[in-house]
Chain A
Amino acid sequence: MRQKQIKSNDVMLQIFARILILIIITFSIYLLLAGHNNPGGGFIGGLMTASALLIMYLAFDMKTITKAIPINFTTMIGAGLLLAVGTGIVTMLFGYPFLTQFFDYFHLPILGEAELTTALPFDLGVYFVVVGSALTIILTIAEDDK
């Protein structure tokens, strides 16, 4: 007699994943933006986002995810590197040394008074590189058995 394959049911995991991912991604973006004055920054924010995406990969199957997030993560690494080095090059064009930082206070419509610095795009570059490389590592190992 052939063994009957047990059909697994991941309803619990999938429902909770939907809620969790939202919370984790929000938290990771908070960490990314808070990095200037509080603990946080591009690296930890990127790792949190990567872990949120990883939960998605655990709860759902590969095909659905690649359809939902059509991003090539290695391209993301390249883009992040360009963004980070770009913030340095822009300051060079204005005649300052490489990676000079500027900041000023702006009045934003909803958030009110805010300090905007050029360190943020640099952090964003780090964020992209971390998300891209963490997911490239995990997905390359995961897809290895094909």
Chain B
Amino acid sequence: MNNLVILPIIFPFVIGAVLILLTKHHKLQRIVSGISALVLLAISIYLAVVVYQDGLIVLELGNWPAPFGIVMVADLLSTLMVLLSTLVSTVCLFFAFKTISPEREKFYFYPLYFFLLIGVNGAFLTGDLFNLFVFFEVMLIASYALIVHGGTSYQLRESFKYVIINVFASALFIVAIAWTYSITGTLNMAHLAERVAELEQSGVLNVVAILFLIVFAMKGALFPLYFWLPRSYYGPPAAIAALFGGLLTKVGIYAIIRTFTLIFNHDPGYTHKGIIVTIAGFTMLFGVLGAVSQFDFKRILSYHIISQVGYMVMGLGIFTPLAVAGAIYYIAHHMIVKTALFLFAGVAQRVTGTTDLKQMGGLLKTHPVLAWMFFITAISLAGIPPLSGFFSKFPIILAGFEEAQYVISGVALLVGLLTLFSMMKIFSYAFWGEQKHTEEQARLPIGKLLLPIAPLVALTIILGFAAEPMFVYSLEVAEQIMDPSIYIESVLKE
């Protein structure tokens, strides 16, 4: 049934509303949210399978035909993103059960968590530009509350900047939407794509396209609009930071991929190969330079988000099926690995009580399982062959050389090296060397904390060893989004 498309949005909505009513009951809140996170995961897997087998599903909300009402569209890309986001959020939720303090739990942590998911899933599934804005706001308002949750002075200061930059970006988003509407007279993405194609994306439409790129770059932390990210992700507790690191920037990247493959795809020489590739190069380079210069576990990981977002955008910028498939594989790989790494940072902080690398050491001896799991994920992030990181970087760089984009491909290779360097810096400072934490801390059991992360580590290994089916899948996704006529025809039913 078509209503399946909307389930990943209204299910967390209902659960979030119910959890508001249950704030006084601790245990019940945990049970309800835990079970519903698993149910949501099952729904999104089912949705992905159905879309893979039967093709694109369109739901016209309120039974209004396509350009007039709001449509929800589930194609291969959006179902993959929904699947990944629910996976990541389920893992973070189970990690939060063990780590989040009861004072935080009392103040609507779980409702906000599910509201964040409404926004993220909605942004992935919507087929309407203004609806995309609304879901962005749902996600952002929940993230404002989660990022300041707990109210330490650091969090208050950094979340203020986060809110200001995002309110500004949202205002710019509205301006861009208004401008698009005044040119084309529609907000439905498929209809918009059709009309932009009729106008051949001339003159002012290119300006609008760049305005959208600026807006989504602010949300997705691209150069030069990434400055808010490293500091604001440092403040909140590990479970929330991991959720943000895994999810939020990728919503911006998804929006860039969606708009620049579906709507603004008629002047790729200027928008894609010119601007997006340049931005991607700077993003990768500056992100990884930031990571190399830092001496803090969480900060290094935050800067890595920036450099890796650059890879995804680079894949889009090169704009061949191989490169876009690589970008999609990269998103899948990155969401899994980055969440795992942030959670490992949380576990290490639990043991040693700090995230400063110079005050850590010797975790390998006292907590070997943590150390080796971290090691696997870290080299996967850097792109060492048998793991998923390699198979996501390889097609992007290969496509770069095929398209004679030598500079950007060289930058991508250099950034891979620097990523490996900074991950090994973490490993050698925090895990190698002399033990700097006390004996009491050394005996701290962390098995229960590692349990929710284990599926992510397993997935990065599986995605590496079983790269072929996954890559065939992302090639199919890439072919589908590179040919927008399928999307347009199934939405407008011509």
Chain A residue nearest in CB terms to B111? A78
Interface string of B1-37 (1 = CB under 8 A from A): 1110010001001101111110100000000000000
CB distance from A90 to the nearest CB of B (A): 12
The 3 A-B residue pairs with the shortest CB-CB distance, nearest first, are A78-B20, A81-B17, A78-B21
Q: Is the CB of A85 within 8 A of B10?
A: yes
Distance of A137 from chain B, by nearest CB (Å) = 13
Q: A97 touching B20 by the CB < 8 A rule?
A: no
Asked if residues B61 and A82 are in contact (CB atoms below 8 Å), the reply is: no
B62 at the interface (CB under 8 A from A): yes
Q: Using a CB-CB cutoff of 8 Å, which residues 73-121 of chain A contact chain B?
A: 74-75, 77-79, 81-82, 85, 88-89, 92, 95-101
B59: chain A residues at CB < 8 Å are: 97-98
Contact of B61 among A74, A79, A85, A97 (CB under 8 A): A97
Q: B438 at the A/B interface (Cβ < 8 Å)? A: no
Q: Are A98 and B20 in contact (CB under 8 A)?
A: no
- Inside 8 A of B19's CB, which chain A residues have their CB? 78
How many residues on B have C-beta within 8 angstroms of the other chain's C-beta atoms?
Answer: 19
Known: A75-B20, A78-B21. A98 touches B10 (CB 8 A): yes
Contact across chains for A81 and B10 when beta carbons are under 8 A apart: no
Say which residue of B2, B14, B16, B62 sits within 8 Å of A99 (CB atoms).
B62
Query: 21 A-B contacts, Cβ less than 8 Å apart?
Result: A75-B21, A77-B20, A78-B18, A79-B21, A81-B16, A81-B17, A82-B14, A85-B10, A85-B13, A85-B14, A89-B14, A92-B6, A96-B63, A97-B3, A97-B59, A97-B60, A97-B61, A97-B62, A98-B3, A100-B63, A101-B62
CA distance A97 to B1 in the complex (A): 9
- CA gap between A132 and B379 in the complex, in Å: 50
Known: A74-B23, A82-B17, A92-B3; 5 extra A-B contacts, CB below 8 A, are A85-B14, A89-B14, A97-B2, A97-B63, A100-B62
**A78–B17 CB distance below 8 A:** yes
Give min CB distance, B69 to chain A, whole Å: 9
In the complex, are the beta carbons of A88 and B21 less than 8 A apart?
no
Chain B residues at the A interface, C-beta cutoff of 8 Å: 1-3, 6, 10, 13-14, 16-21, 23, 59-63
Residue of A nearest to B108 (CB): A74
A79: which B residues are within 8 A, CB to CB? 17, 21
Tell me, rounded to whole Å, the shortest Cβ–Cβ distance linking A39 to chain B.
Answer: 22
**CA–CA, A97 and B6, complex, Å:** 9
Chain B residues with CB under 8 Å of A85's CB are: 10, 13-14, 17
- Residue among B6, B17, B60, B63 having the largest count of chain A Cβ atoms under 10 Å: B17
- Chain A: residues with CB nearer than 8 A to chain B? 74-75, 77-79, 81-82, 85, 88-89, 92, 95-101
The residue on B at minimum CB distance from A96 is B63
Main secondary structure of the interface of A (DSSP, over half): helix
A74 to B14, CA, bound (A): 15
Q: How far is the CB of B493 from chain A (nearest CB, A)?
A: 14
Give the distance in Å from the alpha carbon of A51 to the alpha carbon of B23 in the complex. Answer: 27
| Distance of A100 Cα from B64 Cα, bound (Å) | 8
| A85 to B, closest residue via Cβ | B13
Residues of chain A lying within 8 A (CB to CB) of residue B2: 97
Residues of B near A78 (CB, < 8 A) are 17-21
Residues of A contacting B63 with CB < 8 Å? 96-97, 100
Asked whether, in the complex, the Cβ of B18 is within 8 Å of the Cβ of A82, the reply is yes
Cα distance A75–B17 when bound, in Å?
A: 9
* In contact, A81 and B60 (Cβ under 8 angstroms): no
Q: Which of chain B's residues have a CB closer than 8 A to the CB of A82?
A: 14, 17-18
A74 partner, pick from B3, B10, B18, B20, beta carbons under 8 A: B20
Least CB distance, B113 to chain A, in whole angstroms: 15
Query: How far is A41 from B334 in the complex, measured between Cα atoms in Å?
Result: 45
A85-B10, A89-B10 known; A98 and B17 CB under 8 Å?
Answer: no
Q: Which residues of chain A are near B10, meaning CB under 8 Å? A: 85, 88-89, 98
Distance between B18 CB and nearest chain A CB, rounded to angstroms: 7
Report the minimal beta-carbon distance from A54 to chain B, rounded to whole angstroms: 22
Closest residue to A95 on the B side, CB-wise? B1
Known contacts A85-B10, A85-B13, A88-B10; A98/B18 CB under 8 A: no
- Bound-state CA distance A81–B1 (Å) is 25
Shortest Cβ distance from A89 into B: residue? B10
Please state if B61 and A99 are interface contacts (CB–CB under 8 Å). Answer: yes
Q: Which residues of B sit under 8 angstroms from A75, Cβ to Cβ?
A: 20-21
Q: What A residues does B18 contact at CB under 8 A?
A: 78, 82
A79 to B19: give the CA distance in the assembly, Å: 11
| Nearest A residue (CB) for B16 | A81
In the assembled complex, the CB of A141 is this many whole angstroms from the nearest CB of chain B, namely: 15
Please give me the residue from chain B that is nearest to A80 by CB atom.
Answer: B17
Distance between A114 CB and nearest chain B CB, rounded to angstroms: 22
Alpha-carbon gap, A92 to B63, bound state (A): 11
Docked complex Cα distance between A68 and B1 (Å): 48
CA A88 – CA B7 in complex, angstroms?
A: 12
**Which residues of the other chain, A, contact B16 by a CB distance below 8 angstroms?**
81
Which residue of chain A has its CB nearest to the CB of B10?
A: A85
Contacts of A74 in B (CB 8 A): 20, 23
Inter-chain contacts of B20 with A (CB < 8 A): 74-75, 77-78, 81
Most chain B CB inside 10 Å of its own CB: which residue of A79, A92, A97:
A97
Q: State the Cβ distance, B188 to closest chain A Cβ, in Å.
A: 16
Q: How far is the CA of A74 from the CA of B16 in the complex (A)?
A: 13
Residues of B within 8 A of A101 (CB): 62
Which of A75, A81, A95, A100 has the most chain B CB within a 10 Å cutoff?
A81
CA–CA, A79 to B60, complex, Å?
Answer: 27
Which residues from A are CB-within-8-Å of B17? 78-79, 81-82, 85
**In the complex, how many angstroms separate the beta carbon of B36 from the nearest chain A beta carbon?**
14
- Chain B residues near A95: list those with CB within 8 A: 1
CA gap between A85 and B62 in the complex, in Å? 13
Nearest-CB distance from A73 to chain B (Å)? Answer: 11
